[in-house]
Amino acid sequence: MNKQQALEVYTKQRRKMLANRYASFVCSWDMQTDAAPQSVIADSEQMGVLGEQEYELFADACFREAVETLCGCAAELDEVLRHEVTDMKKHIDETAKIPKEEYAAYQRLTAEAYPVYVEAKRKNDFASFLPYLKKVVEYARKTTQWLQTDKLSGYDVLLDMFEPNYTQKQYDEFFALLKEKIVPVIKKATAKTESVPEWATQPYYKEGQRKFCEYLRDVMCFDKSRGIMKESEHPFTSGFGTEDVRITNHYYENNFTSSIFSVIHETGHALYEQQCDKSLNGTLSYGGASMGMHESQSRFYENMIGRSAAFWKVHYKHLQQHFPVQLKHVSESQFVKYVNRTERTFVRTEADELTYPLHIMVRYELEKMLIEGSLQAEDLPAAWKEKFTQYFGITPPNDTLGVLQDVHWAYGNFGYFPTYALGSAIAAQLYAAMQRDFDVEKSLESGTTQRINEWLASHIHRYGCSKYPDEILRLATGEDFDAHYYVDYLVKKFG
pLDDT at 46: 85
Average pLDDT over residues 111-118: 91
- pLDDT at residue 193 tops 80: no
pLDDT of res. 31: 85
Q: Where are the domains of the chain?
A: 3-125, 169-494
Mean pLDDT over 210-221 rounds to: 98
Which pLDDT band holds residue 185 (cuts at 50, 70, 90)?
very high
**Average pLDDT for residues 406-416, to the nearest whole number?**
96
Residue 45 marked in a binding site: no
Q: pLDDT value at position 134?
A: 98
- Give the pLDDT of residue 70: 96
Give the model's pLDDT for residue 437: 98
Collapsing DSSP states into helix, strand and coil, what is residue 183?
A: helix
pLDDT digits (tens, 9 = 90+) for 282-297: 999 999 999 999 999 9
Confidence of residue 179 (pLDDT cuts 50, 70, 90): very high
DSSP E strand stretches across 211-258: 227-231, 237-239, 245-249
CATH number for the segment(s) 169-494: 1.10.1370.30
Residue 268 has pLDDT above 90, yes or no: yes
pLDDT the model gives residue 51: 87
Confidence of residue 48 (pLDDT cuts 50, 70, 90): confident
Q: What is the pTM of this model?
A: 0.95
pLDDT of residue 233: 86
- In the predicted structure, residue 88 carries a pLDDT above the cut 90: yes
The SS3 call for residue 298 is: helix
What does the CA dihedral 218, 224, 225, 228 come to, rounded to 10 degrees?
180
What percent of the chain is modeled with pLDDT above 90?
A: 90
What's the pLDDT at 191? 84
430 close to 458: Cβ distance less than 8 angstroms = no
Annotated ligand binding at 265? The verdict is yes
Q: What is the mean pLDDT of the chain?
A: 95
pLDDT at 127: 98
Local structure of residue 194 (DSSP, 8 states) = P
Please tell me the number of Cα atoms within 13 Å of 108 on its side-chain side.
13
**Average pLDDT, stretch 188-199?**
86
pLDDT surpasses 90 at 430 = yes
Please report the pLDDT score of residue 370 as a whole number.
Answer: 97
What does the radius of gyration of the chain's CA atoms come to, in whole angstroms? 23
Query: Comparing 34 with 231, which gets the higher pLDDT?
Result: 231
- At residue 147, the pLDDT reads 96
Residue 256: in which H helix or E strand, if any? helix 256-274
CA distances from 194 to 191, 296, 340, 424 (A): 9, 29, 12, 25
What is residue 338's predicted lDDT score, i.e. its pLDDT?
A: 96
Catalytic residue among 84, 266, 273, 302: 266
Looking at residue 309, its amino acid is A
Under 8 Å between Cβ of 421 and 295: no
Q: What percent of the chain has pLDDT over 70?
A: 99
Flag whether pLDDT at 92 surpasses 90: yes
DSSP 341-382: -----S-GGG--TTTHHHHHHHHHHHHHHHHHTSS-GGGHHH
pLDDT at 112 over 80: yes
Looking at residue 45, its pLDDT comes to 81
Average pLDDT over residues 339-360: 94
What are the tens digits of pLDDT across the range 368-400?
A: 999 999 999 999 999 999 999 999 999 999 999
Distance CA 268, CA 294 (A): 8
> pLDDT of 9-21, one tens digit each?
999 999 999 999 9
Q: Does 250 carry a binding-site annotation?
A: no
Whether 266 is catalytic: yes
Weakest-pLDDT range from 31-40, 123-132, 145-154: 31-40
CA distance 280 to 470: 20
